[in-house]
Amino acid sequence: MSSLQAEVAVVAAGDSSEVDVSQEPHRRLVFDALTAVIPADQRPEALDEQQELYADLGMDSLRFVRLLVELESKLGVNLLDEELMTIELVTVADLVDLVGRISLPAAE
């Protein structure tokens, strides 16, 4: 991580003031990350937000870690342990929502 990158917290769900109204960039980022961590022969032909991470995408704990590391890399942040330990995600949409709730440091 470079010095420009920072540890960030995840804003609680429902804090609309921090949520990006346009989810499309988050959706694209999440789909890219999922594509990067799930081998082609182990994922559905097309990803969509209603798919379940565990049941449809076979997301075990190891792959979930890789996914979070991939998201950290794409976002240029270090996610905080204590925030992530309590999060439970079911669908791809939950993950898109999580990315939207990550509070990025304000640009200088």
Partner 1 sequence: MVDTARDPQLPTHWFNILHDRPHYVTSAMSRSRLPDELKSARRSVQLQQPLSLARQSVNTADRFVPIPGEVLDLYAQYRPTPLRRAVRLEERLGANARIYYKYEGANLTGSHKLNTALAQAYYYARAGVKHLVTGTAAGQWGTALAYACQVMGLGCTVFMVRATLRQKPVRGEMMRLFGAVVHESPGELTEVGRRALQEDPAAAGTQAVANGEALALAAEDSGSRFAVGSGENSVLLHQTVIGQEAVAQLAVLGEFPGCVIACMGAGSNFGGIALPVLGAAEDSGRPVRLVAVESAACPKLTRGRYRYDLSDALGTTPVTKVYSLGSGYAPPPVYAGGLRHHSAGPLASAMHADGTLEAMAVDQLTAFRAGLLFCQAEGILPAPESAHAVAGMLDVVSRHPRQQPPLVVLVHISGHGLLDLGAYTAFAAGQIEPVTADETSLARSLTALEEFNHAIAAPPRAP
Lay out the site mask for partner 1 across 2-31 (x = CB under 8 A, - = otherwise).
Answer: ------------------------------
Name the one range near partner 1 by CB under 8 A: 8-16, 17-25, 38-46, 96-104: 38-46
Among 61, 106, 107, 108, binds partner 1 (CB under 8 A): 61
Q: Give SS3 for 22.
A: coil
- Cα 80 to Cα 10, 28, 72: the distances in Å are 8, 23, 11
- By the 8 A CB rule, do 83 and 97 touch? no
- By the 8 A CB rule, do 38 and 80 touch? no
- By the 8 A CB rule, do 9 and 83 touch? yes
Name the one range near partner 1 by CB under 8 A: 13-21, 28-36, 58-66, 98-106: 58-66
Contact residues for partner 1 (CB under 8 A)?
38-39, 41-46, 48, 51-66, 68-69, 79, 81-82, 84-90
